[in-house]
Amino acid sequence: MRLRALVRKEFLLLIRDHHALGVLFLMPALFVLLMAFALAEVNQDRLPALELVLEIPQPSEESAFFAAALDEQLGESRRLESTATSAPHLRLSPAFAEQLLDTEQASLGLVFPAATDALSRQRVRAAAHAALAQTRLMAFLLDTGELDADSSLAERMTLIRQRTEVRINEQERLASGALDQRVNASQHSVPAWLIFGMFFVMLPMANSFQREQQSGTLLRLRCLGVNMGTLALSKLLPYLAINLLQFGLLLAIGVWALPLLGLPGLHLPGSIAAWLLLAGSLALAACSLGLAIASLARSGEQALMYSGGINLILAAIGGVMVPKSVMPEAMAQLAELSPMSWGLDAFLVLLVGQGSLTDVAPWCARLLLFAVGVGALALFLFLKRLNDTQWTTHN
Amino acid sequence: MAACYWFLFMLELRGLGFRYPDTEHPALDGIDLRLEAGQCLGLLGSNGAGKTTLLSLIAGLRQPQQGEIRWQGERSIGLVPQQPAFHAGLSVKENLQLFADLYRLRGTERSNRLQRCIHDTHLESLLGTRAARLSGGQQRRLNFAIGLLQPAALYLFDEATVGVDIHSRELLLGAVQGLTADGCAVIYTSHYLEEIERLAQRIVLLAEGQVRLDLDKRQLLGDDHGLLLEWPTAPPSGLDALLAELQLECLPTARGCRIERIDAPQLARLCQFIASQPQLPDLLRFGRPSLEQLYLHFSGGAL
């Protein structure tokens, strides 16, 4: 009866605390949207289209074939007019057709603007090599009579494609390795700011406890003999529920709201059990830390400073604000100290690696161990704080 | 209140002592007190005298380092602390219901006690109001109501009426009198000495951690408390000789004396003596002293 009454009281106070609701729900939701937009162009699975100028001083059957083969290699890339100076220029030699089967002669020239990044340069080089090899093969087959001289460009392309096609048996080992290099904007932003928001329960937890102690309500509860377990649970249970609600709500934003804004939506593969384990582990870790901070802070100002400061530090080193994939090695190693990083890794195992309950279990185990360790410290501090709550007079 | 514990309840403190860490003097030293059911004990003392420590020990918030606290019957304490001890974010009704749950009140007893404490503190029109929006006096009334709601054998009131208007104070003091009338014991501390004078049957004065006075109020403030005489500077020189001659029992004060009992002939001689002196007394009062005067006298003038 007492526990139920205290939990109900915490809920009522929380629902009426607009600032706390803003911090717990509005702030992470806004961060999810803003950061998903900000990172929209980063870490996409599909490579961006290239722009390229192909200079053909002496058009021929061979140069036409080369152009078609190059287009096929570069996919959605776009060929520009030769006046465009901002794109890489690929120049065929004037004697391209004659020199094709002569490996001693350079048939191609490449000019890169300074702004072209290394990956784009590599893509252009690779595409040019492949297209040139195909064109040489086509010339060789024409020369040996294996290819009909009257065949169309399309027919030639089909034949060469068949001759050069390599079947590679490609498999992906899921739920393994550093998956943060594979995430898209939504797959990073939603879990990152969701975890950040969940850990922000520290603030309302600490504030509520401060108010209770400073008002003398805690003194009444102590005199009533309400035991420590009931009091601690009355603080933990409402915020665990809030954490689970945050988890569901922000994932829902990722799944349904982001696609409405033109961003990649979140798909939630994996078993429900794995998701529930992750949600529970994160909530326990966040709430145990919240209880520790609530017991440690001696004033509203300290509560704000501790909870805000610790949350920001854990987020900064844990890969919430800056993905771990772009961190230097030392920082990435430091990130492993943050429970937010463990939560993020668990999310990636599920979202990107399509992992199972077993795959996500090691990360959740870390979070649960953190919850147990910090929870034990929190209970010690909580008990000490209760015992320190004494009758005070202001006369 | 419906619940009376007069047949069960008695609190006894024996040689109670407590010293805070790193302090030279004990906060409490050898406190002996006995509190009967239906009794209101007015606890007085200057700041640092040990009142708060004593209340904390009785409430079980601290453990005595010396002596013992003996209860007859179940230990149950209602508390009205000095600071408003409720949730400002809840309404008056929600606060009362929360504490009714915490006091484990159910059924008819719950509704009766809720109704009674709301009535006694005149909170009927404020039930839906958020506690944070109550005036200072209204918050005190709510604080009081939460204390009264609890079924207890002993109620501790610590400066519970600070900032309360006269009308509300009358209500609250009436509620305290109702508790003792129902057989509950009360320990009441206040710097409003007229409240103590009105409520308490016993008055205990603490000073430097010790009981300086523990007297029945009728004994302390009896009507036969004699004549108080004081001069602007010092009493006249022949006064002591006259008092000895008349065989009057008196207590010297800083600028005069208090004569415990005096009959008509003795009074006539004394008046003749006073009238013959070049300097007349600046205070001549016949009758009982006020509690404030006693308090100042026994606490060494410290407020």
Q: How far apart are CA B302 and CA A373, in angstroms?
A: 52
Please report residues of A whose CB lies closer than 8 A to that of B47. Answer: 395
B85 closest CB neighbour out of A6, A219, A394? A219
A342 to chain B, closest Cα gap in Å = 36
Q: Taking chain A, what is the end-to-end CA distance rounded to the nearest angstrom?
A: 36
* pLDDT value for A51: 86
ipTM above 0.90, yes or no: no
What CA–CA distances, in Å, run from B174 to A318, B111, B120, B144, B200?
62, 21, 8, 12, 12
Q: How far apart are CA B259 and CA A251, in angstroms?
A: 87
Residue A114 dihedral angles phi and psi, to the nearest 5°: -60, -30
Beta bridge partners of B70: B12
A9 closest CB neighbour out of B84, B98, B146? B98
B157 to chain A, closest Cα gap in Å = 12
Across the interface, do A391 and B87 touch by the CB < 8 Å criterion? no
B218 to chain A, closest Cα gap in Å = 28
* pLDDT value for B288: 61
Split at pLDDT 50, 70, 90, the class of B233 is: confident
B221 to chain A, closest Cα gap in Å = 26
Question: Shortest CA distance to A242 belongs to which of A190, A192, A205, A293?
Answer: A205
Q: Which of B56, B61, B157 to mutate to test the interface with A (most CBs of A within 10 A)?
A: B61
A373 to chain B, closest Cα gap in Å = 29
Percent with pLDDT over 70 in chain B: 88
A215 closest CB neighbour out of B61, B88, B150? B88
Across the interface, do A220 and B81 touch by the CB < 8 Å criterion? yes
Please report residues of B whose CB lies closer than 8 A to that of A5. Answer: 98, 101-102
Token pair 């990083």 in the structure block, residue:
A341
Does the structure show a pLDDT above 80 at B291? Answer: no
Please report residues of B whose CB lies closer than 8 A to that of A212. Answer: 87
A384 to chain B, closest Cα gap in Å = 13
* pLDDT value for A315: 93
A220 closest CB neighbour out of B51, B85, B101? B85
Q: How far apart are CA A226 and CA B218, in angstroms?
A: 40
Please report residues of A whose CB lies closer than 8 A to that of B159. Answer: 393, 395
Would you list which residues of chain A are within 8 Å, Cβ to Cβ, of chain B? 1-2, 4-6, 8-9, 12-13, 16-17, 211-212, 215-217, 219-226, 389-395
Q: Given CB atoms, is B301 within the 8 Å cutoff of chain A? A: no
CA dihedral B106→B107→B108→B110, nearest 10 degrees, is 30
Within 13 A of B23's CA, how many CA atoms are on the CB side? 11
Name the DSSP class of B224. Answer: T
Q: How far apart are CA A231 and CA A295, in angstroms?
A: 12
Q: Given CB atoms, is B63 within the 8 Å cutoff of chain A? A: no
Question: Shortest CA distance to A342 belongs to which of A371, A299, A308?
Answer: A371
* pLDDT value for A395: 42
* pLDDT value for B302: 47
CA dihedral A167→A168→A169→A171, nearest 10 degrees, is -140
Asked if A292 and A373 count as a contact pair (C-beta separation under 8 A), the reply is: no
Q: Which of B77, B80, B82, B193 to mutate to test the interface with A (most CBs of A within 10 A)?
A: B82
Write out pLDDT tens, residues B243-253.
999 988 888 87
A215 closest CB neighbour out of B62, B85, B191? B85
> How far is C-alpha A171 from the geometric centre of its chain's CA atoms?
23
Does the structure show a pLDDT above 70 at B287? Answer: no
Q: What's the mean pLDDT when you consider all of chain B?
A: 86
* pLDDT value for B6: 44
- Segments in chain A below pLDDT 50: 394-395
Split at pLDDT 50, 70, 90, the class of B7 is: very low
Write out pLDDT tens, residues B147-164.
999 999 999 999 888 888
Split at pLDDT 50, 70, 90, the class of B221 is: low
Write out pLDDT tens, residues B39-57.
999 998 888 888 989 999 9
Residue type, A269: P
Mean pLDDT of B77-92: 92
* pLDDT value for A223: 86
Name the DSSP class of B280. Answer: -
A391 closest CB neighbour out of B55, B99, B191? B55
Q: Residues 70..99 of B with a Cβ closer than 8 Å to A: which?
A: 77, 79, 81-90, 94, 98-99
* pLDDT value for B1: 45
B98 closest CB neighbour out of A5, A17, A390? A5
A12 to chain B, closest Cα gap in Å = 7
Map residue A132 onto helix, strand or coil: helix
* pLDDT value for B110: 96
> What pTM does this model have?
0.73
What CA–CA distances, in Å, run from B199 to A155, A348, B48, B80, B192?
112, 70, 23, 16, 11
Instruction: State both tokens at A377.
Output: 């410290």
* pLDDT value for A41: 67
**Closest residue on chain A to B57 (Cα):** A391
* pLDDT value for A25: 94
Across the interface, do B102 and A224 touch by the CB < 8 Å criterion? yes
A5 to chain B, closest Cα gap in Å = 6
Write out pLDDT tens, residues A206-256.
999 988 888 889 888 888 888 888 999 999 999 999 999 999 999 999 999
